[in-house]
A and B are shown apart, each in its own frame.
Chain A
């Protein structure tokens, strides 16, 4: 099956610093990856669509200068939370879709970000 690896699984950072989260497709190439955010007991909200070799597409209300996305290769997308604030504390999840097969969208294991 398709595997997506996300790193780190948990990170604590100080307000004002930046945090980078990596999302890798391990056994398939992904021209498109997706970044979601989940608040406690709420649904997964799509933040942006990461496109290999081009700019990410952000959902309405998501600050692109705060949530920097880079998709430099067919197997790696990164999300950088810049100048983090406590309200950025959340669970961030990436996903990608392997072509062929009915795997649906494969998700990473998520990153719990806590900004103190």
Chain B
């Protein structure tokens, strides 16, 4: 049972435009969500997180939106840059920021075209 789903395995975006990566979850107990960026043969790098008490969190070019009623979150990257090309994973946990276990989505490969 895939509790965190990223239904788009890949996404291609023009440099300078907005990249929108989507993630859906099924477990209503999840209360903390994170986005990670991963290059091949490397560990994931933390990008941004959001608590379920918020609906938006912004950090520079990255913004995460959370729609609890739809059990959906998205990561917006604007403007997109070539260095953003990577695989992006969303992850979820329960128990707040002090929680331990993360459940990952399948990942979305983002390609930024010059």
Residues of A participating in the B interface, judged by any CB pair closer than 8 Å: 4, 6, 9, 32, 34, 41-46, 49, 91, 93, 95, 97, 102-110, 112
Contact = CB atoms under 8 A, between A and B. Distances in A.
B49 A46 contact: no
B67 to A, nearest CB: 21
A46 B100 CA distance: 11
A93 B100 contact: no
Interface string B33-51: 0101000011111100100
Nearest to B35: A104
Contacts of A102: 49, 97
Interface of B: 4, 9, 34, 36, 41-46, 49, 89, 97, 100-107
Contact of A34 (B89, B97, B101): B101
B43 A107 contact: yes
Where chain A touches its partner, the secondary structure class is strand
Nearest to A102: B49
Q: Which of A34, A44, A46, A97 has the most CB of B within 10 A?
A: A44
A104 B49 contact: yes
A44 B107 CA distance: 9
Contacts of B34: 104-105
A43 B43 contact: no
A110 B38 CA distance: 11
A49 B89 CA distance: 20
